[in-house]
Structure 1
């Protein structure tokens, strides 16, 4: 039986790394990675090469002819590009169509949300999805909910700080909104199943592990740690005002990460925290096929198991080696008054200060 040739874009990222690991567990995949020539010597890329991954040096900003050549003979393209690179998938999709790629997996891999003004990031992705459909390029869109790795609050003892990107100690509203969660490490395992499944060609898949509320997450971490965690509730109105301020701040800086990280996080809170978009019922309404129905035998990593590993000091942090993470840490250092999502990612400005007064 011939192996499926997969071209992975963004293999050095968190999601791309998970997908590379998931595919490497299956000998029926021949894995290729498209990398910028200047990135070919990155440790993460060299490590994949040592595992048998074929490295293809080509920039996404290359001509469509060069991209078509890079995709020649490839069966499936899996894209995990960065937030500011969503539109770069349009010439990539054009090249994939010309090269005869049999399935294109665009960079979804976020929470469930409707298009049209709720989340800027979602709308950027939907522009790409629409282009793929106009090309009649075979596709599968995969969304995965909210990562375990971003879902839990900080402990006052600091015991979990080694694995955390933000303090994450806010509860949106009453904290009882259901939230679909997935362990980052399971994303690749889901993708390996999906790439071999013709039932979901030209469909959307919602691949998730568990559904919990923020209150349940806090309760579980208190049970595991034995520490009491302060419940810092933020109102719907406060989140709405935060979204407005973040949107106003980012409009003049289209792809400045320092401006857009607050917008991403605020709009995520709007979507999964206030609207309750990120849950299996709404996903079904939007037309997703559930991983629970597709793969009832799939054994995901449990959320309690993950939290226990974080508490025991054996978990792996995310974004700890990224320039943007370090820049954010310098710009918004932790302190007693700023150790929260608002303090670290939503700094007050002259234009937005009045919007925060409703808290």
Structure 2
């Protein structure tokens, strides 16, 4: 049986890397990665090649003819670009239409939220989705739950700091809002099924493993670690203040992806923490198919077992190539302004390249 050819955009990122892993392990795919010519010699690209991923060099801002050449013989395109690159997918989609790509998966891969003013990042993605639909290009939109790797709190002992990007010490609202969770490592396994499934063509899919609340996650972490975790509840009015301040600030200067990070973070907290958007029931209301309905036999990574690995010291963190310095990573200092979400979560970055790309 011939293999399905898949072109990954952003294969070296966190989500793209999970998808590359899932497709390669599945064995039914011929995997290609689209990389910028200037990035072709980076170690991350070499590691992909060592695993059998074929490299095609082309910039998303290249001419349509160059993009068409890069898409030759490709059946499925999966995009995992950063927040500032969302609109760069539109020329790629136009080229995909001209080359007869059978399925285009734009960069979704965020938590469920309705379009139209709740999350700016969601609305940027929706602009791309609408362009794809106007092209009559076959597509699938895939969103995911909040990652296991970002969902648990810090322990006072510091023994889980090695796997954390931030202190993650806030409980939003009363902490009882249900939210979908997905292990980053499972995203690729889901995608291996989704992109070959005729039921998901021209549909939205929520790929998630479990549903929990922040309070339950804290309870579970305390049980596993046998440590008491401080619970810092942030009231709804504070979240709204953060959102409004971040929105106002983001409109006072030319677009800068780094300066938009506080807005991304505040609106995420509003969406999944206060509104409760990131919930499979709400996803179905919005028209999503869910992974648990589509693939009842799928065995996802267990959240408790993941936390046990974190506490044992054997888990793998995320954003390890752009994380705050080790000194800051251990201590996660609070800033003078509790509304400065960016400096609280990324006090000092070693790399600002696509900081929040999923």
Q: TM-score, normalised by structure 1?
A: 0.92
Q: 1:165 to 1:253 in 2, by over 3 A?
A: farther
- Please say if 1:25 is aligned against 2:22: no
- Please say if 1:345 is aligned against 2:342: yes
Asked if 2 retains the 8 angstrom alpha-carbon contact of 1:170 and 1:341, the reply is: no
Describe the superposition over 1:177-214 as per-residue Cα deviations: whole angstroms up to 9, x where unpaired.
Answer: 00100000000000001111111100000110000000
Alpha-carbon distance in structure 1 between the residues aligned to 2:303 and 2:103: 32
* Structure 1 segment 125-204 matched on structure 2, within 5 A: 125-204=125-204
Aligned residue in 1 for 2:57:
57
Alpha-carbon distance in structure 1 between the residues aligned to 2:15 and 2:248: 29
Report the Cα offset of residue 93 of structure 1: 0.3
Describe the superposition over 1:221-250 as per-residue Cα deviations: whole angstroms up to 9, x where unpaired.
Answer: 000111111110011100000001111222
Aligned residue in 2 for 1:227:
227
Alpha-carbon distance in structure 1 between the residues aligned to 2:40 and 2:303: 35
SS in 2 for 1:97: helix
- Please say if 1:74 is aligned against 2:74: yes
SS in 1 for 2:30: strand
Asked if 2 retains the 8 angstrom alpha-carbon contact of 1:120 and 1:264, the reply is: yes
Alpha-carbon distance in structure 2 between the residues aligned to 1:26 and 1:218: 34
Alpha-carbon distance in structure 1 between the residues aligned to 2:125 and 2:341: 26
Report the Cα offset of residue 29 of structure 1: 0.4
Q: 1:328 to 1:342 in 2, by over 3 A?
A: farther
Report the Cα offset of residue 326 of structure 1: 3.9
Aligned residue in 1 for 2:245:
245
Alpha-carbon distance in structure 1 between the residues aligned to 2:50 and 2:343: 41
Q: TM-score, normalised by structure 2?
A: 0.92
Alpha-carbon distance in structure 2 between the residues aligned to 1:213 and 1:75: 39
Structure 1, gaps ≥5 residues long: 348-359
Alpha-carbon distance in structure 2 between the residues aligned to 1:214 and 1:340: 23
Report the Cα offset of residue 27 of structure 1: 2.1
Report the Cα offset of residue 48 of structure 1: 1.1
Alpha-carbon distance in structure 2 between the residues aligned to 1:328 and 1:162: 9
Alpha-carbon distance in structure 1 between the residues aligned to 2:213 and 2:238: 19
Asked if 1 retains the 8 angstrom alpha-carbon contact of 2:32 and 2:55, the reply is: yes
Alpha-carbon distance in structure 1 between the residues aligned to 2:78 and 2:40: 18
Report the Cα offset of residue 252 of structure 1: 3.1
Alpha-carbon distance in structure 2 between the residues aligned to 1:217 and 1:264: 23
Structure 2, gaps ≥5 residues long: 345-358
Asked if 1 retains the 8 angstrom alpha-carbon contact of 2:335 and 2:343, the reply is: no
Aligned residue in 2 for 1:107:
107
Aligned residue in 1 for 2:332:
334
Report the Cα offset of residue 329 of structure 1: 8.7
Asked if 2 retains the 8 angstrom alpha-carbon contact of 1:166 and 1:341, the reply is: no
SS in 1 for 2:114: coil
Aligned residue in 1 for 2:294:
294
Report the Cα offset of residue 47 of structure 1: 1.0
SS in 1 for 2:26: coil
User: Paired residues, what number?
Assistant: 343
Alpha-carbon distance in structure 2 between the residues aligned to 1:124 and 1:300: 30
SS in 1 for 2:260: helix
Alpha-carbon distance in structure 1 between the residues aligned to 2:255 and 2:265: 15
How big is the alpha-carbon RMSD for the aligned residues of Structure 1 and Structure 2? 1.9
Alpha-carbon distance in structure 2 between the residues aligned to 1:93 and 1:287: 23
Aligned residue in 2 for 1:257:
257
